[in-house]
Amino acid sequence: MYARGIPIFPKLISSDTKKVFSLAIPAALKHLVDILQILIDMIMVGMVSVYALAAVGMSMQFMMVINVLMTLYVVGGNALISRFIGEGRTKRASSLLYSLGLFATVLAVFVSIIVYIYADRMYAIMGAEAEVIIQGALYFKILALGFVLIFIDTLLFNALSAAGDTKSSLYIKLFSAALNAFLNYVLIFGHFGFPALGIEGAAYATIIAYGFNVLAYFFLLKLPHSKLKLLPIIRVKDMIRAYHIGWSAALERGISSLSFLVFVSIITAYGTAELAGYQVGLRIEGIAFMPGFGFSIAAMALVGMNLGAKDKEKAYKMGIISGRVAYVFMGSVGVFLILFPEFLVSFFTQDSETIKVASFYLILVGLAQIPLAISFVYSAALRGAGATKTTLKINVASLWIFRVIPSYIAYKTGFGIIAIFVIMNVETLLKGLMYYYIYQKRSWLDTKV
């Protein structure tokens, strides 16, 4: 069966499919390691005190806001670097990477100062208890000192992915995660002659791990076969082009984060069991996100590179292949979520009401994995082409018109938590259809960057 000359089920042995897998699988595995590292951090910090655990958990919410700022240079940089690589202009890509590195450093220093000064107030504004504020300020002030490393690490991972290298980042992350876990053990609890630093030790371990990442990336960029270098040339025109792409992506992420917080507040209003069930279900569903994340990275890089090579048909085809393989993987995981929800939830809690809520959540989201895969991959493909204004419009309209507002109305009119989950799934389906329609129109292939 064919659609516009492209097989509905592409041969897995084709060279194009192999390219997709070679980028997607390492990216998905890196995402898994990221999740495991966070879980290990939370487990070890939780052994210190419940206050320390709450403080680290809240810091992750703050990092979501800071990630919005990083989007300013990451998405635009990805789109341009992949195009430059596709055009064979590696020096242009390398000079842009250098320029973005300087921008990321300046931005990180500015954010570090703000966070260091106002860390305790940030926790207080969120309504944290006094001890959580103390623990949180200790942790986040130390972490702020390493923001430059975090910002540069994010830039280099995305730049290498845009250039078609996700394997190196996976290897770096594997060593980094192991180092972080070891340093947590040493610095949090005090082993091998080191004092027990508690939550401060967790912050130092995180910074050192990021420092290792950055050094490893710099070493990679020095290798002769590396497509990207740090070429000390600043082209203001390219920086402006990256900003024009990035600002709408940053605005999209910021509004999406706000809508997510509002949506969670609606669920919170139902009660503790409902909130706990949603949180447990969301973490289990995160496993299903892995293939979607990996194939979205592949789509973004390959679409950008082929547009740079002036091959619009192949750019379109790469997104199609990435999307179809992604929804096969995510759809398969969705079936597992539908068939064994209580079994999966039982690993996280034994509370009967929480298990009931989380199981309903998993059954419903299991049904939505295919449209979610389409949204993941096609939105990434559009960003790779530089069409970030389109993704901004789709995501903002979808989240607010089809999810947040209907959920609020459902809550106010007395519908139960299951209705909220159904609304969430309907929004996912509608967003997937919108991305499918826009992608098929192909007008995004002509986006000027």
434 vs 284 pLDDT, higher one: 434
pLDDT at 130 over 50: yes
Per-residue pLDDT tens over the stretch 274-332: 877 887 788 788 777 778 888 899 999 999 999 989 999 999 999 999 999 898 889 99
Nearest to 100 by CA among 193, 231, 214: 231
379 vs 41 pLDDT, higher one: 379
What's the mean pLDDT when you consider all of the chain?
88
Q: Which residues pair with 3 in a beta bridge?
A: 6
Q: Name residues whose C-beta falls within 8 Å of residue 271's C-beta, 6 or more positions apart in sequence.
A: none
Q: What is the pLDDT of residue 136?
A: 85
Q: Which two three-digit tokens encode residue 149?
A: 């490393």
Which of the residue ranges 88-102, 121-135, 144-158, 209-223 would you say has the lowest mean pLDDT? 121-135
User: Region 183-209: what's the mean pLDDT?
Assistant: 92
CA dist 358 and 370 (Å) reads: 20
Ranges of H-type helices in 270-368: 272-308, 312-339, 341-345, 352-367
User: Region 120-149: what's the mean pLDDT?
Assistant: 86
The angle at the Cα of 379, spanning 374 to 381, to the nearest 5 degrees, equals 100
Q: Is 380 in contact with 291 (CB distance < 8 Å)?
A: no
What is the reported pTM? 0.84
- State what percent of residues in the chain have pLDDT above 90: 50
Q: Name residues whose C-beta falls within 8 Å of residue 315's C-beta, 6 or more positions apart in sequence.
A: 302, 303, 304, 306, 307, 385, 445
pLDDT at 364 over 90: yes
222 vs 4 pLDDT, higher one: 222
CA dist 195 and 166 (Å) reads: 37
Q: SS3 for 121-144, per residue?
A: HHHHHCCCCHHHHHHHHHHHHHHH
What is residue 444's DSSP assignment? G
Per-residue pLDDT tens over the stretch 69-109: 998 889 999 899 999 999 999 999 999 999 999 999 999 99
Q: What is the pLDDT of residue 13?
A: 54
Q: How confident is the model at residue 53 (pLDDT cuts 50, 70, 90)?
A: confident
User: Region 153-169: what's the mean pLDDT?
Assistant: 92
Q: Is 312 in contact with 392 (CB distance < 8 Å)?
A: no
Q: What is the pLDDT of residue 1?
A: 45
Q: What is the pLDDT of residue 12?
A: 45
Q: What is the pLDDT of residue 391?
A: 93
Q: What is the pLDDT of residue 2?
A: 46
Q: What is the pLDDT of residue 373?
A: 92
